[in-house]
Amino acid sequence: MNTSVLQDVVLGEDEFRRISDLVYEHCGINLHDGKKELVRARLAKRLHKGRFTSFSQYIKHVLEDPTGKEFSILVDSLSTNLTKFFREERHFEYMRAQLLPRLMKAKQSRGPLRIRGWSAGCSSGEEPYSIALTLIESLGGKGGRWDARLLATDVSTRILERARAGVYDRERIEPIPLPLRNEYLICRREGMKEQYEVGPALRSLVIFRYLNLMKDWPVKGPIDFIFCRNVMIYFDKPTQARLIRRFYDLLDSGGVLFTGHSESLTGIEHAFKYVQPTIYQKP
The active-site residue, picked from 40, 116, 154, 224, is 154
Euclidean distance between CA atoms 19 and 89, whole angstroms = 36
Query: Residue 213: how many CB atoms within 10 A of its CB?
Result: 22
Contacts of 120 (CB under 8 A, 6+ apart): 153, 211, 213, 226, 227, 228, 231, 247
The active-site residue, picked from 18, 42, 158, 162, is 42
154 is catalytic: yes
Q: Provide the residue type at 273 as one letter.
A: K
Nearest alpha-carbon partner for 53 in 178, 257, 279, 61 = 61
Quickly list H helices, the chain.
3-6, 13-27, 36-50, 55-64, 69-78, 89-94, 100-110, 126-138, 157-165, 178-184, 200-203, 237-250
70 to each of 40, 50, 76, how far by Cα in Å?
16, 11, 10
Please tell me the chain's helix, strand, coil percentages from 3-state DSSP, rounded to the nearest 5. 45, 20, 35
Surface-to-core class of residue 144, CB atoms within 10 Å of its CB (0-12 exposed, 13-18 middle, 19+ buried): middle
Half-sphere exposure of 125 (CA within 13 A, CB side): 24
What value does the CA radius of gyration of the chain take, rounded to a whole number of Å? 21
**Residues annotated catalytic, as ranges:** 42, 154
